[in-house]
Structure 1
């Protein structure tokens, strides 16, 4: 709760700093704010469940862990906003405050104990993302991305709310434990169809928020049109918070065997379709940014495996798998988008050809992007390998061997498109007649952030026991 209060208060305070019209002051202030909130968040570790707003919000180790991931992701992402610092016309104070407010929504998604708080968290997070997607007002692609994201987001929010209304009509409550009791001990059998329909509609609504197929169609266009800095935030923080909310919904609200018979086939089908669409779609892309968009879809499929195989507790293998995978994915994805932003700003290209010769002009950028691509592909000695390993082990332990085999095949497919940027950087010479031969300007601050991300990726791959099993 202290994290929510600090983010809200400091987000408002950050807006007043914008009156100074000094963007150079805002970047260190933003880093200080996120570092402070991250420290305060972990002070709640092992403090026992803390209830707020009449039990509508619960702070426990589960919420602290996922809150830590989203705050750390935002902290390591901020250095790549350097372009806005140098742009005197950029409304950087507003951008940063919107990011802080969206983090409040992300924390609520990891801490809710009432469906009203789930809805508020999604809306606080989503509204900020709608605005930031269209922040580049002079770019038609950014305007188009914001419009698509807003319209589709509003449509699926309606579906989510309708599902909540049906669940309330069938159970008479919006509190998680009370809904769970009604699901496991139904009083009126005639209300079961209403409950199950509401349950499925809620799954569809949250499935859209995490970019799961077949509700993924907005993702490539929105990711491509949104400014790269905000795309990185969207593909990491939003996805991590969404899956934390998804896990709580399934474990604490619909754990009964009869309920599983309704949502489990739907979730399994979404998992398979998401893996297929994400990996096959990424193969066909010529833009690195669109490839990372489809990559985001595919990783939602891997996280779905842990949801399908959940063992009925927020402290089990599925929760630990999702937590570790979310951290490894977020670190690698921030690094990939960070390098992409630097290259795109300097060379004005987002295709694979834009990365040609990068190993010669900027060996540090090439190395960090290589580490992130290998991690996203699940290559050993990276965090992505153990992220997939823990998720697959949770599925195998619960008998979903066929699903794991399919996921392994899709992982093999992903190696193709993750190696394409590496091949372009190390095995393709830049054409001197174009801008590819120009070194990409990188600040010391950004170089340090990329090195930290690469080191953390390798550390998670070499010493996964540091975080495995903490929940």
Structure 2
């Protein structure tokens, strides 16, 4: 809980730094504040946290773990944003502050113990992202992305809010413990209102995580938003969405597994095929990553479909691996687009000769996203498949393996372009900030792939 308070103060402090034109202090102060917030969050590990603020929130190990990955990912993204926002506007402090406000909403989402706090956390995050998606005020695509995100976000919030209202009408409470007790004590007499509310919650949360058939906003919003913001949305925001999804279902809806499991099965299969097959036909690296993020949502749904004690571990490890690899991909995309002015696969031609280090880190990221052994992505997929097999969803694993093979093809397209094609282009220069983020992320991807035990048994 101390991390949430610290980040709230930090966001306001950053706004004041902007007011007094302290541009050079923005990034160091923000990173220092995030580091303090991370330490304060980790200090609450195994503290036996109980619900606080009249049962509204609970900062347990689950919340600490997902808060930590959110803060670390945000720090890495902000490091590669050095000089990025300056090209968009002179008012840089507002961008840092809005990202921090979005992160505050994310912290509320992963630690809620009351449905009203889930709604508040989602709205704090969403309103911040609507602004961030449209920060390029003179860019038509950025404006389009912001408008589409706002309209679809408001639409999905309607489903979510109506679902919460129906659950309240059935149980007379927003508290997760009371809702859980209602489900356990009335196994055969659950109100139809409750089932309706549960279905609407699934629809609303599926919108937020970009799962099919509620994914239609994702490609255009991800493509039109500034690359830094797309990186934030596809990593930190998606991880928070699944953490909230999993927390709600683990605590409240596990006894009703037979009701909602077929619905999520259909959503998961649709998400895998739509994400992977559509990614095959993309010529834009950024748009490919957008459809790729849809497919990864399908994999992460496995942990909820086969809900059990290991689901938290599976989602955390998969989300960590996916986030780190995606940050590498978006960082390299920024560097390549800065030189070539394009995000097509052809822009990466001959990158291995122009900058071997950048090409190597991007290769590690692509292999991880494809689920190749000795990378974190392989461990994440392995845990997801193991979770699904434990519930005897063998046919689901077969479908997932087929989709993983499809994914290998489009991920390796950029690797082939970097190493096996040549073009006369100048060398790509990267700053120390980029080199640190790329090197650290690639190293972490390999370490988790080789020694997964140190983060695979957290919960």
TM-score, length-scaled by structure 1: 0.95
Partner residue of 1:262 out of 259, 265, 268 = 259
Which residue of 2 is the match for residue 425 of structure 1? 418
What is the CA distance between 1:83 and its match in structure 2? 3.0
Deviations 1:347-374 (A, max 9, x none): 1100001111111111111111110000
2:382 to 381, 386, 389: 389
Question: Counterpart in 2 of 1:343?
Answer: 336
Deviation at 1:428, TM superposition (A): 1.2
Deviates more, 1:15-24 or 1:449-458: 15-24
CA offsets, 1:341-400, max 9 Å, x none?
111122110000111111111111111111000000000000000001111111111211
Tell whether the 8 Å contact from 1:23 to 1:88 is kept in structure 2 after alignment: no
- Select between 81-90 and 18-27 the one with higher mean Cα deviation: 81-90
Q: Deviations over 1:56-80 (max 9, x none)?
A: 1001111000100101111111111
Q: Distance in 2 between matches of 1:184 and 1:404?
A: 30
Question: Could you tell me which residue of structure 1 aligns to residue 3 of structure 2?
Answer: 3
The answer to whether structure 1 residue 232 and structure 2 residue 231 are counterparts is: yes
Structure 2 vs 1, CA of residues 170 and 86 (structure 1 numbering), >3 Å: closer, same or farther? closer
Residue of structure 1 equivalent to 2:245: 246
Measure, in 1, the Cα distance between the counterparts of 2:86 and 2:172. 54
Deviations 1:146-190 (A, max 9, x none): 00000000011011000111111111111001111112223994x
Equivalent residue for 2:37?
37
Matches within 5 A, 1:248-397: 248-256=247-255, 259-311=256-308, 316-397=309-390
Displacement of 1:50 in angstroms is 3.3
Deviations 1:111-158 (A, max 9, x none): 101000000010011111110000011110000000000000001101
Cα distance in structure 2, aligned partners of 1:361 and 1:244: 40
CA distance, structure 2, for counterparts of residue 33 and residue 463 of structure 1? 30
1:25 Cα shift?
2.2
Classify 1:289/1:85 alpha carbon distance in 2 versus 1 (closer, same or farther; 3 Å). Answer: closer
- What residue ranges of structure 1 are gaps of 5+ in the alignment? none
Q: Is the 8 A contact 1:24 1:85 kept in 2?
A: no
The whole-number CA distance in structure 2 between the counterparts of 1:88 and 1:422 is 31
Instruction: Give the Cα–Cα distance (whole angstroms) in 2 for the partners of residues 363 and 83 of structure 1.
Output: 24
Query: 1:168 aligns to what?
Result: 168
Matched-pair contact (CA < 8 Å) for 1:84–1:92:
no
Secondary structure of the structure 1 residue equivalent to 2:191:
helix
Correspondence for 2:110 = 110
Cα distance in 2 between the residues matched to 1:3 and 1:142: 32
Kept after mapping to 2: 8 A contact 1:24/1:86: no
Structure 2 counterpart of 1:413, from 406, 427, 449: 406
Question: Residue 444 of structure 1 corresponds to which residue in structure 2?
Answer: 432
User: Does the CA-based 8 Å contact 1:113-1:176 persist in structure 2?
Assistant: yes
Structure 2 CA distance for aligned equivalents of residues 89 and 395 of structure 1? 47
State the match for 1:403 in structure 2.
396
Kindly tell me the number of residue pairs found equivalent between the two proteins.
Answer: 459
The Cα of 1:249 is off from its aligned counterpart by 1.1
Structure 2 residue aligned with 1:84: 84
CA distance, structure 2, for counterparts of residue 197 and residue 88 of structure 1: 45
Measure, in 1, the Cα distance between the counterparts of 2:441 and 2:254: 37
CA gap of 1:85–1:287, structure 2 versus 1, over 3 A, is closer
Residues 20 and 360 (structure 1), Cα distance of their counterparts in 2 relative to 1, 3 Å cut: farther
Matched, 1:204 2:203: yes
State yes or no: 1:468 paired with 2:456: yes
**Against the structure 1 CA distance between its residues 188 and 359, is the aligned structure 2 distance closer, same or farther, given a 3 Å change threshold?**
closer
Residue 417 of structure 1 deviates from its aligned partner by 0.4
Please give the per-residue CA displacement for 1:295-348, whole angstroms capped at 9, x wherever unaligned: 10000000001110112xxxx211111111111111001111111111112211
How far is the alpha carbon of 1:19 from its aligned partner?
2.1
| 8 A contact 2:82–2:433 mirrored in 1 | no
Residues 209-249 of structure 1: per-residue CA shift (max 9 Å, x gap): 00000000000000000000000000011111111111111
Q: Conserved in 1, the CA contact under 8 Å of 2:86 and 2:92?
A: no
Structure 2 counterparts to residues 17-32 of structure 1, below 5 A: 17-32=17-32
Q: Do residues 125 (structure 1) and 113 (structure 2) align?
A: no
